């Protein structure tokens, strides 16, 4: 069974005919063509698929596309402006917060959610906000440093 899904993705309104049982991650990657959001464990354990729904972090692999109806969904593609990386993305680049890069979109979206709620988090708050995001390269020190470097910088 399919029905119309109307929502905002990265600032643009969309309407698509979407199956009731389609996951948000499949909608974003397959229908909207936004492959920045990564499918990691695919079971709600690793955080690689983290996107923002109405400014809150959300696991796209454990959310139905229709649960985002009428809401604002943001993926890592939505952070850059006119082809320029956001301050947070720039910080991950400069502070080597990215190794293989697979967890990076989820890390950045979880960190973005934190910085919107708390623009000046301390190290423990950053670690707590990223507690559900796994990095198999284990580059956690650099990831936390990247978020610290981005705080207070205009997005």
Partner 1 sequence: MNLLPDFRTLRPATAAEAAAALAGAGARPLAGGTDLLPNLRRGLGEPAVLVDLSALPDFTAVAVLADGGLLIGAGATLEDLAAHPTVRNDFPVLAQAALGVAGPTHRAAATLGGNLCQDTRCIFYNQSEWWREGNGWCLKLKGDKCHVVAKSDRCYATYHGDVAPALMVLDAAIDIAGPAATRTVPVAELFAEKGDRHLTLEPGEFVAAIRVPPPSGWRSGYEKARIRDAVDFPLAGIAVALRRDGDILAGLRVAVTGTNSAPLTVAVPDLVGRPWDRESAARLADAVRKTSLVLKTTVMGAKYRRRVAQGLATRLAATLWAAG
List contacts with partner 1 (CB under 8 A): 1, 20-23, 42-45, 47, 50, 56-59, 61-64, 66-67, 69, 110, 113, 128-133
The secondary structure of the chain as a DSSP string is: -EEEEEEEETTEEEEEEEETT-BHHHIIIIIS--TTS--SSSSSSS-TTEEEETTEEEEGGGSBGGGGTTSEEE-GGGT-BTTBPPHHHHHHHHTT--SS-SSHHHHHHHHHHHHHH-SS--HHHHHHHTTT---TT--HHHHHHHHHHHTTS--
Beta bridge partners of 56: 53
| Comparison of 20 and 94: residue with beta carbon closer to partner 1 | 20
Would you say 64 or 85 has its CB closer to partner 1? 64
Nearer to partner 1, 32 or 130 (CB): 130
Q: How near is the Cβ of 133 to partner 1 at its closest, in Å?
A: 8
Rounded least distance, CB 108 to partner 1, Å: 13
As measured in angstroms, the least distance from the Cβ of 83 to partner 1 is: 28
Task: Give me the least distance between CB of 99 and partner 1, in Å please.
Answer: 20
Class of residue 149 by CB neighbours under 10 A (exposed 0-12, middle 13-18, buried 19+) = middle
Q: How far is the CB of 66 from partner 1 (least distance, A)?
A: 6
Report the residue number, 38 or 58, with the smaller CB distance to partner 1: 58
Q: Which is nearer to partner 1, 63 or 89 (CB)?
A: 63
């Amino acid at each position: 069974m399919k029905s119309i899904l109307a929502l905002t993705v990265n600032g643009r309104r969309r309407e698509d005919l979407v199956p009731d049982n389609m996951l948000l991650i499949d909608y974003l990657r397959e229908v909207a063509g936004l492959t920045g959001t990564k499918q990691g464990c695919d079971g709600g354990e690793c955080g690689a698929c983290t996107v923002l729904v109405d400014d809150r972090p959300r696991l796209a692999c454990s959310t139905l596309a229709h649960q985002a109806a009428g809401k604002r969904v943001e993926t890592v593609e939505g952070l850059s402006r006119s082809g320029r990386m956001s301050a947070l993305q720039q910080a991950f680049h400069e502070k080597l917060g990215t190794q293989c890069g697979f967890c990076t979109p989820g890390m950045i979206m979880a960190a973005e959610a934190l910085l919107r709620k708390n623009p000046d988090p301390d190290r423990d708050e950053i670690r707590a906000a990223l507690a559900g995001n796994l990095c198999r390269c284990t580059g956690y020190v650099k990831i936390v440093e990247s978020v610290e470097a981005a705080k207070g910088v205009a997005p």
